[in-house]
Structure 1
Amino acid sequence: MKIKRKIEIAVISDVHLGTFGCHAKQLLTYLNTIDPKKLILNGDIIDIWQFKKHYFPKSHLRVIKKIMDMATDGVEIIYITGNHDEMLRKFSNTKIGNISIVDKLVLDLDAKKAWFFHGDVFDVSIQNAKWLAKLGAYGYDVLILLNRFVNWCLERLGRERYSLSKKIKDSVKGAIKYISDFETVASDLAIENGYDYVICGHIHQPKMLIKENKNGKTTYLNSGDWVENFTALEYQFKRWKIYNYNNDHLRAFYVDDEVKDMEVSDLIAAITIIDPKK
């Protein structure tokens, strides 16, 4: 019997299912270690921008099935739409059983207000030149694919994995400024609206810090991603924590045996067993 950690809220974002960069097996291992009351999917879970009929591995299907199973078991699943899964915004404010789709979310957490949204609303390239943003996304996907080959070679040489895209972003002044501006704008808006926490995704940079201005302060949090950082946010005992798979995961937990050979028909069956009357 597997012992799972009970937590109030788990937040994941930027999984990008359907792309070469997605690390679905690691995410599935993580989901198998937790028993949350709420699972918040903060955007870009399924990458509809780069969806390819010929590439959607079983491990990616297993993540979807796992989330459906969690909903069936009573976990509240809240899917906040992002830019890569923006097609789901047509279904905003839809609720089926324990699964709901929204564009943003506000929760009361132990007498404090938490504001959740993906964060692409701040991205000018997406708002004003979507074709340019998509072109950049394709380039990023190619870089991730190249990075996987590099890491395959490094692992066989007994060396540590290396993130090309993270190295580039950490060294380019424009990227550093963009991240800083993103955090400041999100935090200023949260302070202006009286939110104690602002929780985003989108920029693939896990972070937790106190942001202040002349009008007050807030806690800015970012759940990171499951492409480069393998991170999530967890809320328990009135505290937020950044979970890092590489440092925090329990090696005793593995992917469930019963989903190893799952086919698309099994996924459809998993979706249809959700009872909307629950």
Structure 2
Amino acid sequence: MADKREIDILVLSDVHLGTQGSEAKALLQYLQSLAPKMLILNGDIIDIWQFRKGYFPQAHWAVLRHFMNLAESGVPVYYLTGNHDDSLRRLTPFRLGNIYLQDKLLLELDGKRAWFFHGDAYDPSVHKGRFWAKIGGQFYDWSIMLNRGMNRLLKPLGVPPSQFSKRLKASVKAAVQKMNDFEQKAIEVGMAKGYDYVVCGHVHRPQHREIVTEFGQLTYLNSGDWMEHRSALEYVDKAWQLYHYRAEDFAAPACFEGVENKLEELLRSIEDGSLDRFSRL
């Protein structure tokens, strides 16, 4: 196996583990190819909104186990809460060994200040209509599965893959942004606070934008998602870059043998004392 690629910081968001639209197998392949010095999980990693008993495939558990293994090996893992895992906000801030459960994170990176948070704080569609936001999330998940099924059927016929679920998501979000563009609000707040980087997730749209206004300049970054875009942010050699997964870059499928579909297996490291108990930060 080739040597793992070393990066300073890896940022993931909107993995939505526990849903059929989550690309957990592809994510595991990507994770197994890396050796990050820090991992930031920027919200909606586990989709608690759509969680249902009986559906949490081995690949999804394997991704969580990989996060735990990184923490056990000494890598700081920051889990920042999002709207689909907002029930965890009742616990923040908490620490579990090298795993930090928080709502936001401020870092100084090579003399520059970076503000990490999921982004739903500035999205009125989440807070003013949570019920409909949940329904919309389920509909989007179903549209992804339908999209994938159609593409599998059409592939033998030489028909290019359709991406109507992406267009559906974009059209819905565009309507919300006409009322209140949360990204613009995040940028404005970031500039007012003097941050150099604002790093979000939430909208499933990978971005790397340099913003220059009369009030200052700032880099806006969005890690995208692991449902359709299969994207991440990497900080290497004092620079940010967007990563986009390509199956052809990986010779073998991700391995998750021995990962049982039980929460007790995931938490065994806590029970046997290999990780510290939860403690207030």
TM-score by length of 1: 0.91
Structure 1 residues 209 and 237, CA gap change in structure 2 (3 angstroms): same
Corresponding residue SS for 1:240? strand
User: CA–CA distance in 2 between the matches of 1:117 and 1:178?
Assistant: 22
Confirm or deny: 8 A CA contact 1:33 1:253 kept in the other structure: no
User: CA–CA distance in 1 between the matches of 2:12 and 2:179?
Assistant: 19
**73-82 or 124-133: which moved more?**
124-133
Which residue of 2 is the match for residue 17 of structure 1?
17
User: CA–CA distance in 2 between the matches of 1:125 and 1:74?
Assistant: 38
**149-158 or 65-74: which moved more?**
149-158
Confirm or deny: 8 A CA contact 1:179 1:203 kept in the other structure: no
1:219 aligns with 2:214: no
Which residue of 1 is the match for residue 146 of structure 2?
146
Displacement of 1:272: 4.0
Corresponding residue SS for 1:49? coil
**1:1-278 → structure 2 map (5 Å cutoff):** 1-170=1-170, 174-175=174-175, 177=177, 181-246=181-246, 250-252=249-251, 254-256=253-255, 259-263=256-260, 264=262, 265-272=264-271, 274-276=274-276
User: CA–CA distance in 2 between the matches of 1:160 and 1:101?
Assistant: 42
Displacement of 1:236: 0.9
Displacement of 1:241: 0.3
Gaps of 5+ in 2: none
Displacement of 1:58: 0.9
User: CA–CA distance in 2 between the matches of 1:144 and 1:178?
Assistant: 25
User: CA–CA distance in 1 between the matches of 2:172 and 2:84?
Assistant: 24
Letter of the structure 2 residue corresponding to residue 246 of structure 1: R
Displacement of 1:8: 0.6
Structure 1 residues 70 and 190, CA gap change in structure 2 (3 angstroms): same
User: CA–CA distance in 2 between the matches of 1:107 and 1:173?
Assistant: 29
Deviations 1:5-27 (A, max 9, x none): 11110000000001110010000
User: CA–CA distance in 1 between the matches of 2:100 and 2:182?
Assistant: 27
Confirm or deny: 8 A CA contact 1:38 1:75 kept in the other structure: yes
Confirm or deny: 8 A CA contact 2:173 2:203 kept in the other structure: no
Confirm or deny: 8 A CA contact 1:80 1:104 kept in the other structure: yes
> Identity rate of aligned residues, in percent?
47
Structure 1 residues 173 and 40, CA gap change in structure 2 (3 angstroms): closer
Displacement of 1:254: 4.0
**54-63 or 164-173: which moved more?**
164-173
Corresponding residue SS for 2:181? helix
Corresponding residue SS for 1:203? coil
The count of corresponding residues between Structure 1 and Structure 2 is 274
Displacement of 1:150: 1.3
User: CA–CA distance in 2 between the matches of 1:238 and 1:168?
Assistant: 36
**43-52 or 85-94: which moved more?**
85-94
Structure 1 residues 49 and 138, CA gap change in structure 2 (3 angstroms): same
Displacement of 1:42: 0.2
Gaps of 5+ in 1: none
Letter of the structure 2 residue corresponding to residue 93 of structure 1: P
User: CA–CA distance in 2 between the matches of 1:231 and 1:224?
Assistant: 6
Deviations 1:163-186 (A, max 9, x none): 222123456793494599233211
Displacement of 1:253: 5.5
User: CA–CA distance in 2 between the matches of 1:179 and 1:115?
Assistant: 24
What is the CA RMSD across the aligned residues, in angstroms? 2.2
Confirm or deny: 8 A CA contact 2:140 2:169 kept in the other structure: no
User: CA–CA distance in 2 between the matches of 1:131 and 1:173?
Assistant: 16
User: CA–CA distance in 1 between the matches of 2:252 and 2:160?
Assistant: 22
Corresponding residue SS for 2:87? helix
Confirm or deny: 8 A CA contact 1:231 1:243 kept in the other structure: yes
